[in-house]
């Protein structure tokens, strides 16, 4: 039986059966964290197998996921530029980081 580690819904990618976004795991991976560290310290709700599954999915679909990540980053940057209140922008960036680490 083949396990599905990534699902797409709500205009995003998610670790199957969780509320953890694919980009949260991938950004941690791209920052140099090991799968073991990601599972144990960043997302203890995930099993190590899930983290490896998400990374494998990313590596197998890198072009598509990199485009998705670039699009999400561009949308966030455009939204941030449109915001005239620097305090709000800092708060929004903090919340975004917290959501990515959730």
Using one digit for the tens of pLDDT, what is the confidence trace for 1-29?
677 999 999 889 999 999 999 999 999 99
Q: Record the pTM.
A: 0.74
How open is the CA angle 89-97-60, to the nearest 5 degrees?
125
Q: What is the mean predicted confidence (pLDDT) over 71-94?
A: 80
Q: What is the helix (H) or strand (E) element at residue 72, kind and residue range?
A: helix 62-82
Q: What is the helix (H) or strand (E) element at residue 38, kind and residue range?
A: none
Q: What is the pLDDT of residue 84?
A: 64
pLDDT in tens, 32-67: 999 999 999 999 999 999 999 999 999 999 999 999
Q: Which residue has the higher pLDDT, 52 or 98?
A: 52
How many CB atoms lie under 10 A from the CB of residue 27? 17
Short-list 49, 78, 81, 65, CA closest to 12: 65
């Amino acid at each position: 039986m083949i396990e599905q580690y990534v699902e797409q819904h709500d205009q995003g990618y998610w670790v199957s059966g969780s509320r953890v976004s694919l980009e949260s795991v991938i950004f941690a991976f791209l920052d140099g964290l090991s799968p073991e560290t990601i599972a144990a310290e960043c997302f203890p709700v995930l099993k190590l197998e899930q983290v490896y599954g998400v990374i494998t999915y990313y590596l197998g679909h890198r072009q598509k996921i990199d485009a998705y990540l670039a699009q999400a980053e561009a949308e966030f940057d455009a939204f941030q530029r449109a915001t005239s209140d620097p305090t709000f922008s800092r708060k929004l960036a903090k919340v975004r980081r917290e959501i990515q680490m959730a």
